[in-house]
Homo-oligomer: A and B are copies of this chain.
């Protein structure tokens, strides 16, 4: 588990809340529930127009995923593939049948099952690549929701501020209220900037990164399956797949 996301989130919130507490104004100057509703509710509403309900409802799950992300260990995956390649080399492709249910990686499982069932390498690769494309598209949609939230939050913040300014300006009979009116008007812009730069934008970035990581794992899985099916030597497979790892993580022989 990569705790950077959680630590970063706590740190960012802490710095902002700390600055508010240390300031000359009371904390209440920064709290305004209707402003919060306009900014976060508005951004959510705009995102609901853009995406199917299912994607919006998936936001909490996606955010949890960012904070708890457990990367599949790519080095372990490579080891499993090499072990499978050894079995296939020694006892033939069909000998893999009994081992397939134990394989964790779904792409390797699907691919080997197809190979055992006699599909041609072209068909296996086509099915696996289509699968990966579909996953990549779903990832992009998840990131897209975050991106749009990060774009709409400041926009609704600005809408709120404009409404506040117009209210304040259309009734300036009490000059002493002007400052307070502007302060309230600015709160939506502040909220928009905070939720966009503390939550939505960084989470969208992280989702993109996690997706690229998963794609590397899937590329390894596909290449591994193809190599097993074409009967390459386990050692050659190991060498090929290790190139996907950063040098430090490679196992020396």
A interface with B by C-beta (< 8 Å): 2-5, 7-9, 11-12, 15-16, 19-20, 22-25, 29-30, 34, 37-38, 41-42, 44-53, 56, 66, 114, 119, 123, 126-127, 130-131, 134, 137-138, 141, 144, 148, 152, 155-156, 158-160, 162-172, 176, 179-180, 182-183, 186-187, 189-190, 193-194, 196-198, 201-203, 205-206, 209, 212, 216, 236, 239-240, 243-246
Contacts and interface: CB of A to CB of B under 8 A. Distances in A.
A156 B209 contact: no
Contact of A156 (B20, B180, B189, B197): B197
B22 A38 contact: no
26 contacts: A2-B52, A2-B53, A4-B51, A8-B47, A12-B46, A15-B38, A22-B34, A23-B163, A25-B166, A30-B163, A46-B201, A51-B206, A51-B209, A126-B240, A127-B240, A134-B246, A138-B246, A144-B205, A144-B209, A159-B194, A166-B183, A166-B186, A169-B179, A169-B186, A171-B179, A172-B179
Interface of A is mostly: helix
Contacts of A42: 12, 15-16, 197
A105 to B, nearest CB: 14
Given A15-B37, A163-B19, A212-B137, A244 B130 contact: yes
Given A25-B171, A134-B244, A166 B187 contact: yes
Contacts of A172: 176, 179
A66 B51 CA distance: 11
Contact of A243 (B2, B4, B44, B127): B127
A49 B9 contact: yes
A240 B170 contact: no
A152 B164 CA distance: 24
A4 B53 contact: yes
Nearest to A208: B50
A47 B38 CA distance: 27
A42 to B, nearest CB: 5
A206 B159 contact: no
B197 A152 contact: yes
Nearest to A206: B50
Given A25-B167, A51-B206, 7 more contacts: A4-B48, A8-B45, A8-B46, A25-B171, A155-B197, A162-B189, A166-B187
